[in-house]
């Protein structure tokens, strides 16, 4: 298992959720990030519900680090790039956004 890829996916998913949902709506952002990561990364030996719990803890941990290091408005210091999201058919899509 490549943990570097996991951390990159988690960071991207959190950033994407923040951009998609904006300030507030933490539950929606968290759920979105978990679904996005879970759609891309799989832990083959675990049942789906445990996989979601582990991903959720990693998302919570990463958001806490972002908030402590950069403050609650950490998204404002992110550069321009692309956002991934899951469309209504369950497929991962990509869109561009403007950064700080």
Which residue ranges make up each domain of the chain?
Answer: 3-97
Token pair recorded at residue 66: 């972002």
Q: Is the pLDDT of residue 22 over 90?
A: no
**Residues 75 and 29: beta-carbon distance below 8 Å:** no
Q: Is the pLDDT of residue 90 over 50?
A: yes
**Residues 38 and 58: beta-carbon distance below 8 Å:** no
Per-residue pLDDT band at 100 (split at 50, 70, 90): very low
Question: What average pLDDT does range 91-96 have in this prediction?
Answer: 68
Question: What average pLDDT does range 57-70 have in this prediction?
Answer: 85
In whole angstroms, give the CA distance from residue 64 to residue 1: 24
Query: What's the confidence (pLDDT) of residue 50?
Result: 93
Does pTM top 0.85 for this prediction?
A: no
The kind and range of the H/E element at 48 are helix 48-70
Query: What's the confidence (pLDDT) of residue 2?
Result: 64
In whole angstroms, give the CA distance from residue 38 to residue 51: 8
Query: What's the confidence (pLDDT) of residue 66?
Result: 81
Question: What average pLDDT does range 33-56 have in this prediction?
Answer: 87
Angle at alpha carbon of residue 47, lines to 43 and 50, rounded to 5°:
85
């Amino acid at each position: 298992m490549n943990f570097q890829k996991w951390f990159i996916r988690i960071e991207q998913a959190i950033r994407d959720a923040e951009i998609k949902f904006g300030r507030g709506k933490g539950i929606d952002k968290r759920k979105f990030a978990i679904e996005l990561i879970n759609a891309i990364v799989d832990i083959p030996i675990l049942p789906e519900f445990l996989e979601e719990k582990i991903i959720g803890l990693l998302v919570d941990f990463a958001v806490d680090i972002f908030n402590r290091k950069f403050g609650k408005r950490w998204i404002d210091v992110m550069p321009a790039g692309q956002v991934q999201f899951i469309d209504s058919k369950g497929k991962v899509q990509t869109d561009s956004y403007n950064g700080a």
